[in-house]
Structure 1
Amino acid sequence: MDIITAVIYIVLFIIMMVFVFSIGMLKQYMPKREVLLVLAVAFLIGSIGGAFFLEPIYEELPNMASIVERNMPNNEESLYLDLSSSVDTDSLREELSSMEGFKSFDETSISIPMWNFNQKEHDYFDSIVGNINTHYKNYNVTSDKINIELEDNFTASEALKSFSDWYKLVYGETISYAQIQAVLVVDSSQLDNFEQALLNKGIVASSVDGPIQDSINNTNSSMLSNVEFTLVCGCVGVIVALIGIYMDSVVPAYRRFKKFMNTKRKR
């Protein structure tokens, strides 16, 4: 949200509170039993104003809190990507590396979907996968998937090809699909640009780790829920209405207090 829009929303909420205050000041012209109705209306107006005008600004607080982290030198963010094997990772790496703030792009592992293994099939794959290629850093066989960690400088396409070649030799069929896990490290100040570049290719990071994300997470953990925030705004409307209702009593009391303090100072 831009600053101008935020200012407009705040001004509109203030105008609503002025209206609530004005309603409160009409207390002297209404029966006492109508005061509760005024407070109920004030709560409703405050809640509506908070939900429509202040809540969008409130939701931007995590991003605002991360501004400092975005501009700190040497801060880095790690974006964890889940890519289809149909994605040309070499082309993606080349495009990302040409952008300002690029640090590194590493393909860390692949996940090969299989069928639901029975115990015998599971044990077989669990014992044989590590022998297919020496560049498999580690691997894990689940009930329907094989996860393979890659050594440095060993690409996902090479890993998938070596597994597919072995699979064709043993089963007479090919494996043509896998999910690639990759880690993109970028300068914190350029995070938005990289996220947009990925989004343009239909890629969204499964998670982000770094100072910016830590700041956003910490802020989110301390924030009220949307319902709680709306209720607080409703309470603000009630407080403003009460100030309007008792304005005739508050102002004289304030003047007497101010006069008392001035007299005390002169002594």
Structure 2
Amino acid sequence: MDVLIAIIYIVLFIIMMIFVFSIGMLKQYMPSKKEVLLVIIVGFLIGCIGGALFLDPIYDELPNVVSVIEKSMPNNEETLYLDLSSSIDVNKLKENLSGTEGFKSFNEYAISIPMWDFNDKERAYFEDIVGNIDYHYKDYNITPTGTIEIALEENYSSSDALKSFSDWYKLVFGETISYAQVHATLVVDSASLDTFEQNLLERGIVASKIEGPIQDTVNNTNSSMLSNGEFTLVCGGIGLVVAVMGIYIDSVVPAYRRFRKFLRDKRKR
């Protein structure tokens, strides 16, 4: 949301509160307490309406505002977790990303190869054999759904890992691997996060998870924020308070003046 629009929305809400205050000041023309109660109810409803129309959109932007502040902090880094199709040229992607200002590192840390629903015998076989296919496989896991997840040693490329597994699979089963996923982490300066997200989006890639000061701040802000309904009720409460102030302003102002006069007289003594 533009700053100008936010200012306009706030001004409009203030105008609505001035209107509520003005209605409250008409108490002297209200013959019974029912009219006073009606003014209080109207103040609450106008506060709710004004909050929902004008303040709620601004309130929803609070996490974005906080993230902008966090991006301006020096030396902050964000880690993007990427799940890439094996059809993507990972080396070319890395080369493109590394040439972008704010790049820190790119690491391929694992691959996932979906197979089929293994029976107990097949699962036991793969659990015994996968670790012997390539000594660069740091660790591996056979999921219940038949996906082989392989963790890679540092600086070992996913293409080499997939090639070694594919060669073994073709030798043993006489078939080729049709699909696999490459899991990588991209570390960037927080100030450049938007640039890298847009760069990835242009290639059809969206980070599965982001970790870092910006994301932590956004998550903390979101967790502490009121729901839209609760925030609207709070705005209604503001309208109610403003209405009450308008109703009792004739009593408050003289009392305030008497209090100031009392303080002045006390100083003179």
The answer to whether residue 257 in structure 2 is matched with residue 255 in structure 1 is: yes
Residue 242 of structure 1: how far off its partner (Å): 0.8
Residues 1:173 and 2:161 aligned together: no
> Could you tell me how far 1:40 is from its partner in structure 2?
2.1
Q: Which deviates more from structure 2 when the two are superposed, residues 23-32 or residues 133-142?
A: 23-32
Instruction: Give the Å deviation of 1:128.
Output: 1.0
Name whichever of 135-144 and 22-31 sits farther off: 22-31
User: Secondary structure, in 3 states, of the residue corresponding to 1:239?
Assistant: helix
Identity %: 70
Q: Which digits, 9 at most, give the CA deviation of each residue in 1:137-196, with x for residues without a partner?
A: 111111121111112222222222222222222222211211221100011111121112
Aligned match of 1:201: 203
Q: Output the CA distance in 1 between the equivalents of 2:247 and 2:186.
A: 59
Q: Which runs of 5 or more residues in structure 2 are unaligned?
A: none
Mean Cα deviation higher: 136-145 or 191-200: 191-200
Q: What residue is the counterpart of 1:41 in the other structure?
A: 42
Taking a change above 3 Å as real, the CA distance of residues 109 and 254 of structure 1, as seen in their structure-2 partners, is same
Aligned residues of 1:76 and 1:185 also touching (Cα < 8 A): yes
Q: Say yes or no: does 1:76 pair with 2:77.
A: yes
- Hey, what does 2:20 align to over in structure 1? 20
Letter of the 1:127 counterpart: D
Q: Specify which of 254, 263, 266 is matched with residue 264 of structure 1.
A: 266
1:104 equivalenced with 2:105 (yes/no) = yes
Are the aligned partners of 1:51 and 1:230 in contact in 2 as well (CA < 8 Å)?
yes
1:135 equivalent in structure 2: 136
Distance 1:47 1:207 in 2: 36
The equivalent of 1:189 in structure 2 is: 191
Secondary structure at the aligned position of 1:218 is classed as helix
Task: Tell me, in whole angstroms, the C-alpha distance in 2 between the residues paired with 1:41 and 1:116.
Answer: 64
Aligned to 2:29: 29
State whether residues 107 and 150 of structure 1, in contact with CA within 8 Å, keep that contact through their aligned partners in structure 2.
Answer: yes
1:8-54 CA-to-partner distances (Å, cap 9, x unmatched) read 11111111111221222223333321233222222222122212221
Deviation at 1:60, TM superposition (A): 2.5
Give secondary structure in 2 for the equivalent of 1:182.
strand
1:216 aligns with 2:215: no
Q: Deviations over 1:66-120 (max 9, x none)?
A: 4443223322111111122222222211111111110111111111112222211
AA paired with 1:139?
A: Y
Give the secondary-structure state (helix, strand or coil) at the position aligned to 1:115: coil
> What is residue 52 of structure 1 aligned with on the other side?
53
CA distance in 1, matches of 2:140, 2:129: 10
Shifted more, 58-67 versus 242-251: the winner is: 58-67
Which AA in structure 1 matches 2:44?
A: F
Task: Report the AA paired with residue 3 of structure 2.
Answer: I
**Distance in 2 of aligned mates of 1:95 and 1:43:** 56
Under a length normalisation based on structure 2, what TM-score does the superposition of the two structures give? 0.92
Equivalent in the alignment of 1:148: 150
